[in-house]
Amino acid sequence: MRAYWQKMKRGLAMTEEKENSSNAVLRHVVEMVVSGEVLPTEVLYETAMAAYTGLSRTPVREALSRLVNEGFLSQTKGKRGYVVPPLTLADMRNVYHARECAESKLAYLAAEKAVKSDVEALTQINEDESEASPNFIAAPLYTRRGESYSAVGVNVKFHMSVAHIADNKYLERIYEMIYWRSHLYTHYIISRLRMPPEVEEIFELRRLENTAAKEHAELTEAIAMRDADKAAALTLKHLHSTTYYTIAFRHPETLDFSAPIA
């Protein structure tokens, strides 16, 4: 019996190591895509990723397959490679509709389940955000498992923290991929588009007044008061007020996904 449990323990340790390697590859691929190092329609190959990360093809294949299952990547014809699906107006709108559903529900659950330490953590993140300069901040981002992504910002850390507090691993996992997909459109708009004056004015005003931090403070207060309905409503209001949502639904003529993305 002792030999059986020792074998079981070794098997669990190997499984955990395998899962950790797969998660590391997944995080790395997401970072590469979000940062623009890997562009939409650019092909990723298992062999190249394995060589790049120094891991075997098994955890690489598992990570890439998981990203396909979650809609972040798609497989190329012949199944020899993986690509980031192309950016389109229809997809952008679908992503935001998905965020409306997932993000508002996560805020609702967070308000129901948050404990004092959760509220304190959100408050601290919000204070860091409020004290930040109007420019985008490079700061660590933490996912549902406390794993760090580099180079995104304290704003994203707030959103991921709310999702973690909601304590629904299925919804949180779905939300992460939805969020990262939406972030590709954010990056596209910031780096490539010349926005109409009225949209540029909205963008600049939100940036200079740090409106996102103020809206996050309102959401934190609703979560602290355990007002789930208000938390969900504030989340929708926050999402609808962003420049990117405004462009997707009110100024789609601004978007030109046919141009090469560099």
Rounded Cα distance, 180 and 141, in Å:
12
Torsion 166-172-175-179 (CA) sign: positive
The more confident residue out of 196 and 234 is 234
Summarize pLDDT for 106-157 with one digit per residue, the tens.
999 999 999 999 999 999 988 887 775 544 434 333 333 444 433 346 788 8
Summarize pLDDT for 192-208 with one digit per residue, the tens.
777 778 777 877 777 77
CATH of 89-254, one of 1.20.120.530, 1.10.274.30, 1.10.520.10, 3.30.70.1340: 1.20.120.530
Only one residue has tokens 């794993």, namely 147
Residues forming CATH 1.10.10.10 domain(s) in the chain: 2-83
Burial class (CB in 10 A: 0-12, 13-18, 19+), 243: buried
CATH class for domain 2-83? Answer: mainly alpha
Rounded Cα distance, 118 and 160, in Å:
12
Mean pLDDT value across the chain: 80
Residues forming CATH 1.20.120.530 domain(s) in the chain: 89-254
State pTM to two decimals.
Answer: 0.76
Per-residue pLDDT, 157? 86
